[in-house]
Amino acid sequence: MFSRRQLRIRVMQALYAFLSQGGGKPREGVRELLKSIDKAFELYCFLLLLLKETYQYALLDRDLGLAKNIPTEEDQNPNNRFIENEALKALATHKPLDTLCNKLGLIWNPEDELPKKIFIEFKKSEQYNAYLKSETTSIHEDVEIAVTLFRSFLVPHELVLQIVDERSVYWESGVESMTPIVVGTIKSLKNSNWKLHAKKIDKDDEDFIKMLFETTLQNNEEYAKYIGDKSKNWETDRIASMDILLMKMAISEILNFSDIPTKVSLNEYIELSKQFSAPQSKSFINGILDKIVSDFR
pLDDT of residue 233: 67
CA distance 227 to 231: 6
**176: Cβ–Cβ under 8 A, 6 or more apart, which residues?**
none
Taking only the tens of pLDDT, the chain with its 297 residues reads: 788 998 999 999 999 989 888 767 888 999 999 998 888 899 999 999 999 999 999 999 888 777 777 777 776 777 899 999 999 999 999 999 999 999 999 988 877 899 999 999 999 999 999 999 998 899 999 999 999 999 999 999 999 989 888 887 777 667 888 899 999 999 999 988 899 988 778 999 999 999 999 999 999 999 999 998 888 766 555 578 899 999 999 999 999 999 999 999 999 999 999 988 888 888 889 999 999 999 887
Give residue-wise pLDDT tens across range 13-24: 999 989 888 767
- In three-state secondary structure terms, 142 is helix
Q: What domains, with CATH codes, occur in the chain?
A: 4-188 (no CATH), 219-296 (1.10.940.10)
In angstroms, the Cα distances linking 285 to 83, 136, 280 are 50, 50, 9
pLDDT of residue 21: 83
Please give the model's pTM, rounded to 2 decimal places.
Answer: 0.84
Question: Whole-number mean pLDDT of the chain?
Answer: 90
Q: What is the DSSP letter of 239?
A: S
pLDDT of residue 235: 55
pLDDT of residue 138: 94
> By CB neighbour count within 10 A (0-12 exposed, 13-18 middle, 19+ buried), where does 22 fall?
exposed
Q: What is the DSSP letter of 107?
A: -
CA distance 277 to 71: 55
pLDDT of residue 279: 83
Asked if 51 contacts 45 with a C-beta cutoff of 8 angstroms, the reply is no
